[in-house]
Chain A
Amino acid sequence: MSAVVSLRDVHKRFGQVEVLRGVTLDIAAGEVVAVIGRSGSGKSTALRCINRLEVIQSGTIEVCGHAVHDPALDLRVLRQDVGMVFQSYNLFPHLTVAENITLAPRRVKRTPRAEARSLAEEALARVGLSDKIDAYPEQLSGGQQQRVAIARSLAMHPKVMLFDEVTSALDPHLTGEVLKVMEGLARGGMTMIVVTHEMGFARRVADRVIFMHTGLVWETGPGQMLAAPQTPELKDFLAADL
């Protein structure tokens, strides 16, 4: 089993605060991993280190053969392989849906305009929003905006996708439509790391669940582990969550 994402003893500090205290983790091609844990346990930070939105202090991170910890790494090459979707969508408000999606292919990969447009159509079809291609973000619901954000990522054909609590800003109805899109991606073989509070999604869709606690991978196992937690910390976390 060759790992697509592999973290070895990763330490990350913000000033004096050590947020990741030696995270080690391997994720295989096509694997869907749900990351759960309390607020402040370092889930977002771990995710952000993987595409180097944060720089780590020690340890190694390899993603699709790129040494992320290497300061000399060409970030543009790394980020073509890694897509990321955020809690707050972060669509570009002054651009149409099509322009949001085609911006990176055109700028980064120099895809011709017409070809980029068909990339956008293809990506929007996958998230079920073909009819919104010429809308502006403010004309869409939160759930639709988040699906566009997913499409924007998909259009770069990433090998790994990172999701950071992408449904936390949505009401339950809209959460469902976004989770359905993600489930479709998972079934399509995408390698996904999903930070989430949706225990149902973790149980049902994830191949593996990772429970983070105080900056460490505390417990890890298949979805069933949520039914039979081994550590008291996970037990507490699950009890508080229900």
Chain B
Amino acid sequence: MHYRFDFAALEEYWPDFLSGALTTLQMTAVATVLGLVIGILCAIGRRSPRAWLSGLCGAYVEAVRNTPYLIQIFFIFFGLSSIGVRLPVLAAAILTLVINVGAYTGEIVRAGMDTIPAGQVEAAESLGLSRAQIYWDIILRPALERVYPALTSQFVLMMLASSITSQISAEELTAVANNITSITFRSFETYIVVAFLYLALAVLLKLAFWGLAQALFPRRRRLGTPL
């Protein structure tokens, strides 16, 4: 067996690869922000004393975490279109990502919130802070700091999983690669290139999260505590 690599055949598709990678990055960025918001709301909901609210959030988390992402994509994509909601493919793909990552983020954030000692909340209450202020200043910020590594690796995983949205023809990196192989028949080379592009995106993302941590968590920076 002897295989002759021919990367030259892919040269003319560089702009396509790059635009696919850019789309993946954009999807990831939007889904990270929205997923974090959903995750935080979900964590607060699950900690609520109102049984219906914590039950609802719990059901969402368990439903998402115990079904395959591909099925969630089809469920949302075809479900929406059969009730007459027509979203652009990219928006639908991002929606599935947000719903998926929101559930995982919710669990991570909740675990972080549960580590905040009750005494700190009581101290804040006795200082006159409101429920919302306590959540923001005393619970959420240190909780996010504590679970930051778990949170960011979840977002990197999500970026990699976004590859599956090629199944509904979102024009992200994997879908672009699929198109290129069907024209060039250079599958091996194409997927090597794509693998390296995903790797580069992952490194880029980790760098961005590291930079963000430097800005968000001054105590870590000052005391040199590793994340």
Contacts and interface: CB of A to CB of B under 8 A. Distances in A.
B120 interface: yes
Contact of B119 (A86, A138, A139, A152): A86
B8 interface: no
A51 B126 contact: yes
B127 interface: yes
B145 interface: yes
Interface centre among B120, B127, B223 (most CB of A within 10 A): B127
Given A76-B130, A104-B129, A108-B129, A90 B142 contact: no
B62 interface: no
Given A103-B137, A138-B223, A90 B119 contact: yes
A107 B142 CA distance: 18
B142 A93 contact: yes
B126 A136 contact: no
Contacts of A104: 124, 127-129
Contacts of B217: 94
Interface string A86-111: 10101111111000000110011000
Contacts of B145: 94
A107 B137 contact: yes
Contact of B126 (A82, A91, A95, A107): A82
Contacts of A53: 122, 125-126
B129 A83 contact: no
A121 B13 CA distance: 63
B133 A136 contact: no
A84 interface: yes
Contacts of A79: 125-128
Given A92-B138, A103-B137, A108-B128, A86 B219 contact: no
Interface residues of A, number: 29
B221 to A, nearest CB: 11
Contacts of A90: 117, 119-120, 122-123
B129 A94 contact: no
Nearest to B134: A107
Interface residues of B, number: 22
A95 B124 CA distance: 13
Contacts of A92: 120, 123-124, 137-138, 142
B222 interface: yes
B1 to A, nearest CB: 58
Interface string B103-132: 000000000000001011011111111100
A156 interface: yes
A158 to B, nearest CB: 10
B141 interface: yes
Given A53-B122, A86-B119, A86-B122, A94 B141 contact: yes
A139 B222 CA distance: 11
Contacts of B126: 51, 53, 79, 82-84, 153
Interface in B121-168: 122-130, 133, 137-138, 141-142, 145
Given A79-B126, A108-B127, 8 more contacts: A79-B127, A82-B126, A86-B123, A94-B141, A94-B142, A95-B219, A96-B219, A104-B129
Interface of A: 51, 53, 75-76, 79-80, 82-84, 86, 88, 90-96, 103-104, 107-108, 136, 138-139, 149, 152-153, 156
19 contacts: A76-B128, A79-B125, A79-B128, A80-B128, A82-B126, A84-B126, A88-B117, A90-B119, A90-B123, A92-B123, A92-B138, A93-B219, A94-B217, A94-B219, A96-B219, A103-B124, A104-B129, A108-B127, A153-B127
